[in-house]
Structure 1
Amino acid sequence: MKDELKYLTGFGSEFSSEDERCPNALPVGQNNPQKCPYGLYAEQLSGTAFTAPRLENKRSWLYRIRPSALHEPFVPANEATYLTHNWDEIPPNPNQMRWKPFDVPTRQDPAVDFVQGLHTVCGAGDARVRSGIAIHVYLCNASMRDKALYNADGDFLIVPQLGALQITTEFGKMRVEPNEICVIQQGMRFSITVLGPSRGYILEVFDNHFQLPNLGPIGANGLANPRDFMTPVAWFEEREAPFTIICKYQGKLFAAAQGHSPFDVVAWHGNYVPYKYDLDRFMVVNSVSFDHCDPSIFTVLTCPSNKPGTAVADFVIFPPRWSVQEHTFRPPYYHRNCMSEFMGLIKGRYEAKEEGFQAGGASLHSMMTPHGPDAACFEGASNAELRAERIADGTQAFMFESSFSLAVTKWGEHTCQRLDAEYYRCWQGLKKNFDLQAIGENLPSVN
């Protein structure tokens, strides 16, 4: 598959593209002329209410061979056994959780495509009222054949960990490698081709759309730069064949048959598009004096809530960087958080837990559940010679952080059988270092 993409001129700006086989396919001067060029149909895809403020308004116009309404009725589809929005399957569990790498079907196993390989790990809220998130992993070994998926519930932020994804969308095609991410926004139809066993993570948001975080005192430059995001170039196929459209709606999957490819968009323009981003392009900012900054400085994308400064979900990474702080315990500090923290590892070894946290696995530290470096990391960092050093080379860890209190699914806690029951032991070696006599010598005298 030829990877046809272009850099965005600015995140959230207006873009346009037309397949080079059909020059001048975009109407001039209006969106919906009486007759479109080449006999195409005009169709608008809206990602926000029509009356949303201009800066927040999301929509694109698609000029396609057939309108997307041309399909048979949807019927329930038994495509993904472990995809769920049922957050009450099992009793809540506030314990620290860590999963070993999730099992991937091999080439010798029965074929499992991206849709069939969706497994929900945890989540909260209700897509029916557009409030909440879901976190899934995909575990597959086969390509989607004459099948497309669209999500009526929200946006998918996809993080490949094993195997590249070749994604065909209504807007064109893009190849997404491990250490890249892509966002397929609500309502966009797509199909995924894989070249072998594939594994990755998905953050699904119901409330809003992902955007770049505000930079505040950081200034105009830093973190993810708008110019580094890429969107597909228009590409279409005019193919008559039995095709299945899968719709994710209110947490369930439905299927509709149609007799042609849904990827028949000849041209498009708008600001509501799928996009991808290379995590190596992230411009890290960090402390150059003392103390360990909050992980918010590593936010790539955020989905804001209606409460200022509080996210429905943030996508945060911990990339290779220099560590130079003086008089500082440099790894992440011990903490309890009013946010939920789901972490995954794309590659390498995460510096705060180098042994037990593995690529392709995950961890969940729930709201107000204490966590931090394991005993070995604490001892090493407390006694290390502090000098300028590179950390996380060859590593890419990430976090889905949310203001929602997340419930783990039955598959996540029991069925997958990857939950590490011994995780809590990584803190059991933390010893008491308190020395009242040594501290007392340095206390001021009291008259």
Structure 2
Amino acid sequence: MSYYHRLGQIPRKRHTQFRQPDGSLYSEQLVGTLGFHGVSSLLYHRHAPTQIKCVGEPRPYGAKLLKDRPLQPEHLRTLARTSTGGDYLAARQTILGNADVTMSICNPTERRMSYYYKNALADEVIFVHEGRGELWSQLGKVQFEPGDYVVVPRTVIHQLHFAEGPVRLLIIESFSPVETCRRYRNHFGQLLEHSPYCERDIRPPGELILDETAEGDYLLQVKKEGYLHQLTYAHSPFDVVGWDGYFYPYAFSIHDFEPITGRLHQPPPVHQTFEGHNYVICSFVPRLFDYHPLAIPAPYNHSNVDSDEVLYYVAGNFMSRRGVDLASFTWHPSGIPHGPHPGTVEASLGKKKTHELAVMVDTFRPLYLTETAVQYIDPRYPMSWNPDFVPDPPRSADMMD
């Protein structure tokens, strides 16, 4: 959960007269979630944010889930797909999903969005695998670079502006608010001393967008219930002169996550970074291995009978897996056990540290592949725990010893 932040000009008291230089009132807008019970921010616009000029035809926008596939572990190799489309929305390809959360890849080629975007029903967590740039919103600019999680709460109108160079994103769409872990917060909401990150690591918007003042045609695409709705407004949604509150987009770097280690193997919850309803997001980062003299650094086999486990591989060598690429997904569904590949347990003995970097999403309701995901499936992966299995070599030097 974000902390209190303010930016720009605001009046001393909420819901009181706040006048522009010409004597007209600034227009207040409360943005937030969960009605009037969740976190919110109060924005002050030059123009009313309700002036719709025209409404276009909605466009279908969504993925079809496949619910009739066999129960088996999956490996999805997306590394070779350097581009998935043109702009930020066209380039999204949803890979896995359920009613609580979806996971998509997005490798756009266009640097700037010519429209504004709002997700009306879901928070979005954008993990920046490659690329850098800025997220622009009503609440200001947030810079991002490789390794950043950019958290965009629902209803926040935004654009992404990318610098030159390749862009590779993992986008996690959450149909409940994305929050920091409850066990890391006190009852005031402050992150505690044993948390693997703190408020200093969270980067809120740092600069408002003050030059979009002219009347014109400002297209906003709103994602809701499987459609992109087309609304054209008379003024820019970024015509905000100031705001304050707890509700805003922010960035947090995976490199600022401080790992929790112990004498014996630590369970996956120590890697937890964010949580939502029926799922968690975890960060696997470089860390020291277990330091008991007889410790086994590789994870033990386990049956998470009420949890699906998805790993997205960012960099380094993940010591419990063989033949896994950079930008791969592995998905181990609930109902069958999973664990380290043959030979990796013995190979882990005596190792002192790991340089792996990965994002994990654990869901507590079953996930489903999408039609789009089928093209990335590695058909040999379900049999890769057999002792005589020879894995394909990783396609990236970053994933090799």
Given residue 33 of structure 1, which amino acid in structure 2 is its aligned partner? T
Which residue of the partner structure matches residue 362 of structure 1?
329
| Deviation for aligned residue 1:330 | 1.1
Cα offset for 1:346? 1.9
What is the alpha-carbon distance in structure 1 between the residues aligned to residue 268 and residue 236 of structure 2? Answer: 43
**Structure 2 match to 1:34:** 17
Give unmatched runs, 5+ long, in structure 1.
1-10, 19-24, 126-131, 306-311, 432-447
CA offset digits 1:134-167 (Å, max 9, x no partner): 1122121113333111111110011111212421
1:425 counterpart residue number: 383
Equivalent-residue separation in structure 1 for 2:132 and 2:60 (angstroms): 22
1:96 aligned to 2:73? yes
Q: What residue is the counterpart of 1:121 in the other structure? A: 95
2:344 partner amino acid:
C
Counterpart mapping for 1:211-226 below 5 A: 211-215=180-184, 220-226=193-199
Conserved 8 A contact 1:170-1:190: yes
CA pair 104-197 structure 1, distance change in 2 beyond 3 A: farther
Q: How far is 1:402 from its partner?
A: 1.2
Match for residue 364 of structure 2 among 403, 408, 423: 403
TM-aligned CA distance change 1:259 to 1:216, over 3 Å: closer
Q: Which residue of 2 aligns with 1:134?
A: 102
Whole-Å separation in 2 of the counterparts to 1:74 and 1:329: 60
Shift of the 105–280 alpha-carbon distance from structure 1 to 2, 3 Å rule, reads: closer
Match of 2:319 among 328, 351, 354: 351
Question: What is the aligned counterpart of 1:61 among 39, 42, 46?
Answer: 42
Partner amino acid, structure 1, of 2:175: F
C-alpha displacement at 1:271, in angstroms? 0.6
**Residue correspondences, number:** 377
- Alpha-carbon separation, structure 1, partners of 2:109 and 2:274: 29
In the TM superposition, residue 90 of structure 1 has moved relative to its aligned partner by 5.0
Q: List aligned pairs for 1:264-413, cutoff 5 A.
A: 264-288=239-263, 290=264, 292-303=265-276, 305=277, 312-323=278-289, 324-337=291-304, 338-353=306-321, 355-381=322-348, 384=349, 386=350, 389-392=352-355, 395-413=356-374
Structure 2 SS opposite 1:421 = coil
Q: After superposition, what is the alpha-carbon deviation per residue over 1:33-85, rounded to whole angstroms, capped at 9, x for unaligned?
A: 234344421111121221x2xxxx311001112232222454444485xx32x
Assess, with a 3 A threshold, how the Cα gap between structure 1 residues 280 and 420 changes in structure 2: closer, same or farther. same
Once the two structures are overlaid, the 10-residue window that deviates more, 360-369 or 216-225, is 216-225
Aligned to 1:439: none
Distance 2:185 2:293 in 1: 25
Distance in 1 between residues matched to 2:253 and 2:142, nearest whole Å: 12
The alpha-carbon distance between structure 1 residues 154 and 216, as it changes in their structure 2 partners (threshold 3 A), is closer
SS in 1 for 2:339: coil
Q: Is the 8 A contact 1:334 1:370 kept in 2?
A: yes
**Which residue identity does 2:16 align to in structure 1?**
P
Equivalent pair of 1:213/1:300 in contact (CA under 8 Å): no
CA contact (8 A) 2:11 2:18 kept: no
Quick one: which of 21, 25, 32 aligns to 1:46? 32
Relative to structure 1, the CA distance from residue 146 to residue 243 in structure 2 (aligned partners, 3 Å threshold; closer, same or farther) is farther
CA contact (8 A) 1:103 1:139 kept: no
What does the per-residue CA deviation read over 1:193-244, in whole Å, with 9 as the maximum and x for residues that have no partner? 2234312111111133322341499973231222211100241232435332
Sequence identity percentage: 19
1:151 and 2:151 equivalent? no
CA RMSD for the aligned pairs? 2.5
TM-score normalised to structure 1 length: 0.78
Deviation sequence 1:384-424 (CA, Å, 0-9, x none): 3x36x1212xx3111011112111111112xxx22111112
CA contact (8 A) 1:90 1:410 kept: no
Q: Is structure 2 residue 9 aligned with structure 1 residue 16?
A: no
1:185 offset after TM fit, Å? 0.2
Q: 1:34 to 1:276 in 2, by over 3 A?
A: same
CA contact (8 A) 2:130 2:168 kept: yes
* Structure-2 residue corresponding to 1:22: none
SS in 1 for 2:343: helix
* Pairing partner for 1:229 from 181, 199, 202: 202
Query: Could you tell me whether the CA contact under 8 Å between 1:162 and 1:178 is conserved in 2?
Result: yes
- 1:184: Cα distance to partner? 0.1
* Structure 2 CA distance for partners of 1:345 and 1:76, relative to 1, 3 Å: farther
Partners of 2:245 and 2:93 in 1: how far apart?
32
- Deviation of residue 322 (structure 1)? 0.7
Once residues 118 and 101 of structure 1 are traced to their aligned partners in structure 2, the CA distance between those partners, rounded to angstroms, is 13
Higher gyration radius (CA): 1
Q: Distance in 2 between matches of 1:362 and 1:411?
A: 14
- Partners of 1:351 and 1:73 lie apart in 2 by 55
Closer/same/farther in 2, CA of residues 93 and 202 from structure 1, 3 Å limit:
farther
Contact 1:77-1:255 within 8 A present in 2 as well = yes
Q: What secondary structure does 2:98 align onto? A: strand
